[in-house]
């Protein structure tokens, strides 16, 4: 991909997020202040960036398939962002959003399987240890910060299943990064995604809002997605 095009897309991405925050106004409880449509447009920018990177790769090569699937996962995530921002009743919005983001995580895991063919692959022991650690962290997050008796049982169960899936994706990324440093950006992105959803789950299910908590959710989320998208350049040594 052209360095100039990459610079333009990244500049637009960061400027969009900064302007959304700087030009916005605090909401009633002070948990958010960014301009919603401008903030979420940066998710579309990341999807466009991922597609542009994938378009420059040989489609049949493992790293080409990795980039293509990351682009698909980011595009699915953008759809999930639109769902979470919609006017659907809260329970339907949250459940559909979890299902859509869950699909994105499955696509990201499939991408890693293709990418691993071109790079050093983690041992089974490394994968198992990372999986155990991240699933344990996910279960702890769910039990201490997400699960709530005030929401329908279906949402509590769904949130646990979602955290298991997100934890598995994050575990794969961490196992790959521990094996080959070129996966480090992917692992950082996945961990930020996990942190974002932990805060979001606490906000939605426990109704725990604090000053700029929604900005913390979005900031960790969008930087996490940026790390995942830019990993397509890092694994190629670019």
Task: Evaluate if residue 1 carries a pLDDT over 70.
Answer: no
- The answer to whether 34 touches 21, Cβ cutoff 8 Å, is yes
Quick one: what percent of the chain has pLDDT higher than 70? Answer: 99
What's the rounded Cα separation, in Å, for the pair 14 and 78?
17
Closest by Cα among 138, 130, 114 to 231: 114
Question: Which SS3 state, helix, strand or coil, does residue 129 take?
Answer: helix
6-44 pLDDT, tens digit per residue, is 889 999 999 999 999 999 999 999 999 999 999 999 999
CB neighbours of residue 99 within 10 Å: 14
Task: Evaluate if residue 64 carries a pLDDT over 70.
Answer: yes
What's the rounded Cα separation, in Å, for the pair 209 and 200?
9
- The answer to whether 71 touches 51, Cβ cutoff 8 Å, is yes
Quickly state the pLDDT bin for 68 (edges 50, 70, 90).
Answer: very high
| CA distance readout (Å), 41 to 4, 78, 86, 187, 210 | 21, 9, 14, 24, 24
| Residue length of the chain | 238
112 Rama class: left (phi>0) / alpha (psi -120 to 50) / beta: alpha
């Amino acid at each position: 991909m052209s360095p100039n095009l990459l610079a333009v897309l990244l500049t637009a991405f960061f400027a969009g997020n900064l302007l959304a925050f700087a030009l916005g106004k605090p909401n009633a409880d002070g948990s958010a202040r960014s301009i919603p449509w401008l903030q979420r447009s940066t998710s579309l920018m990341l999807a466009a960036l991922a597609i542009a990177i994938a378009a420059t790769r040989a489609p049949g090569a493992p790293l080409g398939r990795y980039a293509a699937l990351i682009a698909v996962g980011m595009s699915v995530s953008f759809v999930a962002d639109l769902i979470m921002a919609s006017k659907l009743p809260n329970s339907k919005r949250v459940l559909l959003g979890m299902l859509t983001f869950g699909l994105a995580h499955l696509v990201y895991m499939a991408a890693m399987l293709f990418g691993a063919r071109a790079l050093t692959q983690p041992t089974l022991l490394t994968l198992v240890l990372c999986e155990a650690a991240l699933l344990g962290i996910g279960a702890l997050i769910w039990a201490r910060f997400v699960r709530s008796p005030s929401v329908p049982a279906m949402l509590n169960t769904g949130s646990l299943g979602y955290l298991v899936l997100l934890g598995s994706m994050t575990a794969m990324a961490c196992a790959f990064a521990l094996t080959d440093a070129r996966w480090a950006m992917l692992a950082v992105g996945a961990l930020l995604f996990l942190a974002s959803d932990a805060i979001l789950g606490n906000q939605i299910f426990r109704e725990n809002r604090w000053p700029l908590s929604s900005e913390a959710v979005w900031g960790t989320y969008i930087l996490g997605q940026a790390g995942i998208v830019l990993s397509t350049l890092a694994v190629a040594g670019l």
